[in-house]
Amino acid sequence: MPVGKRLLQGLRTGAGGAATIVDVARVAGVSVATVSRALSRPDRVRPELVAKVRSAASQLGYVPHRAARALVSRRSATIGAVVPTVDNAIFAKAIQSLQSALDAAGYRLLVAFDEYDRARESAQVRAMVEHGVDGLVLVGGEHDAATVGLLRSRGVPFVCTWIFDPAGPDPCIGFDNRRSMARLASHLADLGHRRFGVVSGITRGNDRAAERLRGVREALGARGIELPASCVVERPYGIGEGRAALRLLLANAPRPTAVVCGNDVLAFGVLFEALAQGLDVPRTLSVTGFDDLELSAQLTPPLTTMRVPSAEMGQRAAAFLLSRIAGETVPDKVELEAELIVRGTTGPPPA
């Protein structure tokens, strides 16, 4: 057996022959404290030392005992995130950004899904608190009082994303859904549209969907444009649901010349149904989405939508929680902007 391998085997002095942090320190030629910092807070250690420590740990097969470390430090180096779903790529993008920022700080991300069910969200939050997460990322601003009370009583910092509510009681990082959707509806009204249809997400239990629908109503109401109940269809977020919603809207007389959708996925369904029915977009029917998924720019014609700062929300949420965990004072209300992206699915109404 080569001398190097015999040396590494001889250093595995922990229980059951497993390598210990002392072994890693010897092989890397650094102190035990440096190994601990390099593995738990690599941002506070010189990159070359982090590389030496990780190389030694890899050679030895060393795995830090996070449970023991958590008992000593009262920190698990884990952040939790409860999001509605990853069926929608916009949430996946935010999660990826959140995880990248946490990885750089030596933290890990634990993700759970509530499927737009507030009771399920409460159960997931409780499970994460019981597992000792150091902080939590939530979506939206409306949560069960018991959920928020649990986090406050346990001293677990949390932040609400995808919304901006300057008057709300909880920290938030996001954008104004009502105002953003009002911009989109105003764009269509400015083109001359007066007959509107809305395909909204289910508003019950989803404050973002409710705010977006409110934004459409306010923008049209300010111009004296009516939006009858028959012109609003609430559907779960799905392409097939968008198609079914447009069929309902087209049954109205007169038909809408513009359809505002609660997100891009619903808008995709509306566009596919319009194609199936031989409707010319945008000459006969204008369609808008919300999110700016990657596919939106690749459609023919490409989709007019609102670009949501999902990656920035993930980064900002990570920075906020890490600062709070470190005992630093940071603003607990951060407003980001959603950007109107005008593409080929909107134009003036038919003559």
pLDDT per residue over 231-288, tens digit each?
999 999 999 999 999 999 999 999 999 999 999 999 999 999 999 999 999 999 999 9
The CATH number that domain 177-307 falls under is: 3.40.50.2300
Which of the four pLDDT bands, split at 50, 70 and 90, describes residue 33? confident
Element (H, E) at 340: strand 339-341
Query: If phi over 0 gives left and psi between -120 and 50 gives alpha, with beta otherwise, what is residue 106?
Result: left
Residue 124 pLDDT exceeds 70: yes
Which of the four pLDDT bands, split at 50, 70 and 90, describes residue 7? very low
Domain 76-175+310-338, architecture per CATH:
3-Layer(aba) Sandwich (3.40)
DSSP H helices, the chain, are 3-11, 21-28, 32-40, 47-60, 66-73, 89-104, 118-130, 145-154, 177-190, 207-221, 239-250, 264-276, 310-325
* Residue 63: predicted pLDDT: 67
Q: Provide the residue type at 345 as one letter.
A: T
* Residue 121: predicted pLDDT: 96
Residue 303 is given by DSSP the state: P
* Residue 212: predicted pLDDT: 98
Residue 223 is given by DSSP the state: T
Domain assignments of the chain as residue spans, ordered by start: 3-64, 76-175+310-338, 177-307
* Residue 49: predicted pLDDT: 87
Which option is the CATH number for 3-64: 1.10.238.10, 3.30.1330.10, 1.10.260.40, 3.40.50.1820?
Answer: 1.10.260.40
pLDDT digits (tens, 9 = 90+) for 127-138: 999 989 999 999
Topology agreement, domain 3-64 and domain 177-307:
no
Residue scoring higher pLDDT (41 or 194)? 194
Which of the four pLDDT bands, split at 50, 70 and 90, describes residue 66? low
Residue 67 pLDDT exceeds 70: no
pTM listed for this prediction: 0.80
* Residue 89: predicted pLDDT: 86
